[in-house]
Structure 1
């Protein structure tokens, strides 16, 4: 298969976009984040809410694409073992070694009494450290979801023939890809399915599991993106069609993302239903636009994008702790909001690249935060030649935001 440079570049861009995305949340007018400034910005609130409508959907599609490409190349057992090391080891390492410092910043930002003070922050921090919950994984949720999707994909790949699912899947793909009307209908049914899943999960009290570390509705809502990416790799002609601009779809993407930006913060049931429906619709349509643009203008290799792709995983894993601590420094200042925002983004980018420089020089750190080893046979059982082939296929593309 011809190297898809634009997928490398787009994935790196989406990972780095996490820095301004999370920084903007500090100044949100309607979100109480880990660290919140006394100064808010309507513009930055719109920035992070609008970014949320397309960033992770496009990333999940790219992850699904490379997942299918590699499972066909390596086989389900070798590939899934690789995924558990490449995704699971960084998930555990960052949760235990890095995220406690995010919790400390959160504890310092939200004291128990009006005048604050170190003792109150200490109690807050100990409370977070001693309780299970989503604060342990925070920005790492996508790694947990990708492990779930990867397991399902590998099981389907192994047992699909025995259960006679192959012909059924092919028939479904034939129906969806028959014409644009069929694709639009599939998009509508996907949005409706997410609403149904959210409703069922709420009735059965299954939307939040493991004290919030697994948000079932989010896992379900993002699954169509991963599956679409896998379908694009399974049927290469789909990728060509999906990355050829269709202007009505581009206009629909802009409209869907704008509406989702407006309705997603609302808690009323009708707005939540609209948000669930629009998440896959806006995500798939906007991913179409992003992949078309990337294929048109960035389908070539250069040193800068290669370096960004190589660093993107480390940058994403570590950027949140820097955003939190830099944000904490500015929470009670009276500097212009946009100036603070720019300084946090720049400082976080530099600091995260610094961490990447340390990680790439240490075999231990590469294993902890990338799940890979440079020894003859890595922990995932792949030989050096196997890993070399994988790097040539997806260099810098650990399936992960």
Structure 2
């Protein structure tokens, strides 16, 4: 299994009327409003996970189910850059919308909803999204005698969460955050807890906030000892200190930002500066090829990842403020697409592995074919079915049915 980040969330992309003005667009009366910029951002983060998994066969140094006969240094570097920020971005959004949902529904309903739409999909989709990967790897090895395959004998790894690990870590972050919140309310009171949250929102939305946010990421990378790998995902259902520390930190940042009036709009003012600093930090790591002392490398990767995260949030909050039907559709489809993509991407990649085609052509074929398959299955099997209502938390009805509704 590839030891790199995968994406994605299950987050409710709607918000009540207390959201910052730049992020709002009027919706029909009676419906909660969607933050269109963050809708697009979540969609992009999830779909980037599919792109990264299409990259891996061409990165020889990265463990995977198979490797193509051709490699690409450029894809390895691009993989590092995207991996440095994508999961931090995802967990930040999950924390932000988690706090929003808790405000609307209360702690108990929030946890129950997340168990239904986060934990249960990990269990239900494992047989079709994770189990077939081992069979595909065995089939490839049987037809490619020289192909190296990692031997897995630990049952916890064999029946691990695979690429659905992020759902398990997200659920851990949710339970811990809700429990800590309950303890704070119990021992220092609701008003002081609220005041503390507002102060943290002010801190994280300030220019120094990105430095504070980077601390858990630095700790996670130092624990793992591999700065060029970012935060390595857990291979089993047993919680691991490094990924839990890093992603709980990101979840907490998003949770805190929700508590501050105009916090996201404040981040948006400095979006360009964040992206520049992030690009510089990650470029230094690429130039040095990770040959720097571990604490420095961890700090550069963490700062780079968080600056890119802040910068992208700022861009989306500043410029993507209007509803776009295509983005909304992809945002709704992206959860299904990510859950089901890996066996399809791996199978297509394996079928192309022996062909003497440029890497770019193979990537294009893989991404177009897999995306078309995933979108078609979403439209036909998910969007207007109980599965879609389960995954997205709302039901899309057929147009003719909608017309009959008074």
Could you state the TM-score of these two structures normalised by the residue count of structure 1?
0.77
| Alpha-carbon offset, residue 63 of structure 1 | 1.1
- Choose from 268, 271, 276 the match for 1:251: 276
- Choose from 378, 389, 394 the match for 1:356: 378
CA contact (8 A) 1:85 1:372 kept: no
Partner of 2:187, secondary structure, is: coil
Partner of 2:58, secondary structure, is: coil
Cα separation, 2, equivalents of 1:211 and 1:191: 21
Cα separation, 2, equivalents of 1:335 and 1:208: 32
Tell me whether 129-138 or 45-54 shows the greater mean CA deviation.
129-138
| Residue aligning to 2:247 | 222
Q: 1:276 to 1:141 in 2, by over 3 A?
A: farther
- Choose from 99, 109, 112 the match for 1:78: 109
- Choose from 114, 119, 141 the match for 2:165: 141
CA contact (8 A) 1:103 1:128 kept: no
| Residue aligning to 2:336 | 314
Greater RCO (Cα-Cα under 8 Å, separation 6 or more)? 1
- Choose from 225, 228, 232 the match for 2:257: 232
| Residue aligning to 1:93 | 124
CA contact (8 A) 1:38 1:331 kept: yes
Q: 1:218 to 1:93 in 2, by over 3 A?
A: same
Tell me whether 216-225 or 343-352 shows the greater mean CA deviation.
216-225
| Alpha-carbon offset, residue 173 of structure 1 | 5.8
- Choose from 150, 154, 164 the match for 2:188: 164
| Residue aligning to 1:18 | 49
- Choose from 132, 156, 168 the match for 1:132: 156
The one-character-per-residue Cα deviations of 1:160-213 (angstroms, maximum 9, x if unpaired) are: 2113286478458637836957436524644554456658xxxxxxx9977476
Q: 1:188 to 1:137 in 2, by over 3 A?
A: closer
| Residue aligning to 1:370 | 391
Q: 1:44 to 1:213 in 2, by over 3 A?
A: farther
| Alpha-carbon offset, residue 42 of structure 1 | 1.4
Q: 1:305 to 1:134 in 2, by over 3 A?
A: farther
Q: 1:364 to 1:88 in 2, by over 3 A?
A: same
Could you state the TM-score of these two structures normalised by the residue count of structure 2?
0.76
CA contact (8 A) 1:103 1:135 kept: no
Report whether the alignment pairs 1:346 with 2:368. yes
Tell me whether 221-230 or 65-74 shows the greater mean CA deviation.
221-230
| Residue aligning to 2:323 | 301
| Alpha-carbon offset, residue 159 of structure 1 | 2.6
Q: How many correspondences in the alignment?
A: 357
Tell me whether 76-85 or 231-240 shows the greater mean CA deviation.
231-240
Q: 1:180 to 1:353 in 2, by over 3 A?
A: closer
The gaps in structure 2 that reach 5 residues or longer are 1-16, 18-23, 25-32, 226-231, 396-406
| Alpha-carbon offset, residue 135 of structure 1 | 6.4
- Choose from 104, 111, 116 the match for 2:135: 104
The gaps in structure 1 that reach 5 residues or longer are 200-206, 375-401
Q: 1:361 to 1:57 in 2, by over 3 A?
A: closer
Cα separation, 1, equivalents of 2:394 and 2:272: 45
Partner of 2:155, secondary structure, is: coil
CA contact (8 A) 1:330 1:340 kept: yes
Cα separation, 1, equivalents of 2:158 and 2:82: 22
- Choose from 219, 229, 241 the match for 2:266: 241
CA contact (8 A) 1:209 1:216 kept: no
The one-character-per-residue Cα deviations of 1:204-229 (angstroms, maximum 9, x if unpaired) are: xxx99774764431221122221111
Tell me whether 42-51 or 345-354 shows the greater mean CA deviation.
42-51
- Choose from 285, 289, 292 the match for 2:314: 292
